[in-house]
């Protein structure tokens, strides 16, 4: 299995695709993968202990996000959380509130994760009107752009806290405030769903600081196990399930709870949020130093996305026009550096980046992206090491 593990040092610059599972997380999970195997729906002691573990995890996530426990729904991953948030709320409006699909407008951007854009296509198929708010060249939703798409039929606005490819961080609270003001004036109810999958390690996720109604999280992107997500709901938000069954998770997500995964998710989120600010500050410094070094070393580099505060602390996304960056990523890999051309879910290899195409309008740039996503323990030497290898590769390609 491990015979292809190279002996050279590995530099992991693909933390947006997958974070290492923290040892503290593994520690809290392992009892539930060994002696503690109860089903939380069982009424005997083994079941009660499993139930208690799930409840404690729920309380922990609720504490971290500063919401009430019943608002925490454990799912199979961020993709499921996104599907559940949007379909679940639209279905609720349709079935319970008796709003026709044709009378609903949903607002999103064109730079979202495939689990959002895919859902939009399904909504359109149902008859819902999907409006794409424009983003600027950094990928930011501006207030005027938002104002241009809100209407009296808007029921839901959904976007990513931090873009998974170019790392653009949206001014969430500002956007939400504008939406609330619009609601006040026009009288319609608009819910805001935030895909925060890339956020917990670097950005504040407490609901009160963001003002949103629903939030998607994914354990595998913040130091926890793959196969667990959270859909967090502010008090009073109602959604319908997208899968039917035993009625677990307050009737919203059926299926025997992944106890070990849930316990791991809660621990990972707690650790991620405990010191996100310090981590973000120190990693952003490395990021910015690395960007300067990158531009010095490879003169044709163009950074995609914003700078400073509007960029996720760990994201370096750039284009090297006319370079076959899929091949470059493979070259980097053989020399010890794991990175990506774009988001793993959008096809980690070649092809055009829809995100970069959307924000820059430049197909050449969109076809030649590379994403370095740093981890909590990445140091500047690691990134410079990667840049040196890439620079060597670029020289070869030009020579």
Q: Looking at the annotation, which residues are catalytic?
A: 345
User: Is 1 or 292 the residue whose CB approaches its own copies more closely?
Assistant: 1
- Contact stretch for its own copies (CB under 8 A) within 6-14, 230-238, 287-295, 379-387: 6-14
Of residues 20 through 39, those in contact with its own copies by CB under 8 A are 20-21, 23, 26, 29, 31, 33-35, 37-39
Residue 253 CB, nearest distance to its own copies (Å)?
9
* Nearby residues of 140 by Cβ (< 8 Å), 6 or more positions away: 168, 170, 171, 306, 310
Out of 134, 333, 362, 388, the only residue in the binding site for its own copies (CB under 8 A) is 333
Q: How far is the CB of 177 from its own copies (least distance, A)?
A: 30
Residue 200 binds its own copies, judged by CB under 8 A: no
- Kindly tell me which of 29 and 272 has the beta carbon lying closer to its own copies: 29
3-state secondary structure of 39: coil
Cβ within 8 Å of residue 319, ≥6 positions away: 301, 302, 304, 325, 356, 364, 365, 366, 368, 369, 370
Among 243, 289, 363, 395, binds its own copies (CB under 8 A): 243
Task: Select from 70-78, 277-285, 288-296, 383-391 the region that touches its own copies (CB under 8 A).
Answer: 70-78
Site for its own copies in 358-377 (CB under 8 A): none
Q: At its nearest, how many Å lie between its own copies and the CB of residue 378?
A: 15
Instruction: Supply angle C-alpha 297, 300, 305, rounded to 5.
Output: 100
8 binds its own copies (CB under 8 A): no
Closest CA to 148 of 189, 90, 107: 107
- Answer left, alpha or beta for residue 227, where phi above 0 means left and psi between -120 and 50 means alpha: left
Q: What part of residues 268-327 is at the interface with its own copies (CB under 8 A)?
A: 326
CA dist 71 and 9 (Å) reads: 43
Q: How deeply is 114 buried, as exposed, middle or buried, from its count of CB atoms within 10 A (0-12, 13-18, 19+)?
A: middle
One of 73, 190, 283, 338 touching its own copies (CB under 8 A): 338
Distance CA(108)–CA(131), nearest Å, equals 6
Q: Distance between CA atoms of 45 and 236, rounded to whole angstroms?
A: 32
Residues 105-144 that bind its own copies (CB under 8 A): 113-115, 117-119, 121-122
User: Interface with its own copies includes 347 (CB under 8 A)?
Assistant: yes
Q: Is 344 in the site for its own copies (CB under 8 A)?
A: yes
CA distance readout (Å), 391 to 104, 160, 298 = 50, 32, 6
């Amino acid at each position: 299995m491990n015979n292809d593990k190279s002996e050279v040092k590995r530099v992991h610059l693909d933390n947006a695709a997958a974070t290492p599972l923290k040892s503290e997380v593994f520690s809290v999970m392992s009892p539930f993968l060994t002696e503690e195997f109860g089903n939380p729906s069982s009424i005997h002691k083994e079941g009660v202990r499993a139930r208690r573990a799930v409840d404690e995890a729920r309380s922990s996530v609720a504490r971290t996000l500063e919401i009430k426990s019943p608002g925490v729904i454990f799912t199979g991953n961020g993709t499921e959380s996104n599907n559940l948030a949007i379909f679940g709320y639209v279905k609720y409006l349709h079935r319970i509130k008796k709003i026709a699909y044709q009378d609903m407008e949903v607002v999103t951007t064109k730079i979202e994760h495939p689990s959002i854009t895919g859902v939009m296509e399904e909504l359109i198929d149902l008859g819902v009107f999907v409006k794409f708010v424009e983003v600027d060249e950094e990928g930011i939703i501006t207030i005027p752009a938002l104002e241009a798409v809100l209407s009296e039929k808007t029921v839901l606005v959904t976007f990513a806290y931090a873009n998974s490819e170019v790392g653009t961080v949206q001014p969430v609270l500002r956007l939400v405030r504008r939406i609330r003001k619009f609601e006040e004036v026009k009288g319609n109810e608009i819910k805001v769903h935030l895909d925060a999958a890339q956020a917990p390690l670097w950005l504040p996720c407490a609901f009160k600081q963001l003002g949103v109604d629903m939030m998607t999280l994914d354990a595998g992107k913040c130091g926890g196990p793959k196969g667990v997500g959270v859909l967090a709901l502010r008090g009073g938000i109602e959604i319908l399930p997208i899968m039917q069954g035993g009625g677990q998770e307050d009737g919203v997500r059926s299926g025997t709870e992944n106890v070990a995964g849930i316990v791991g998710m809660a621990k990972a989120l707690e650790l991620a949020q405990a010191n996100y600010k310090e981590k973000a500050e120190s990693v952003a410094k490395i990021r910015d130093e690395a960007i300067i070094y990158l531009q010095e070393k490879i003169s044709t580099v163009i950074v995609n996305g914003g700078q400073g505060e509007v960029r996720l602390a760990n994201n370096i996304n750039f284009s090297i026009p006319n370079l076959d960056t899929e091949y470059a990523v493979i070259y980097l890999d053989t020399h010890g550096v794991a990175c990506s051309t774009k988001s793993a879910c959008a096809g980690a290899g070649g092809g055009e980046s829809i995100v970069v195409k959307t924000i820059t309008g430049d197909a050449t740039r969109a076809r030649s992206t590379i994403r370095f996503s740093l981890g909590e323990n990445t140091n500047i030497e690691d990134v410079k090491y990667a840049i040196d290898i890439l620079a060597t590769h670029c020289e070869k390609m030009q020579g």
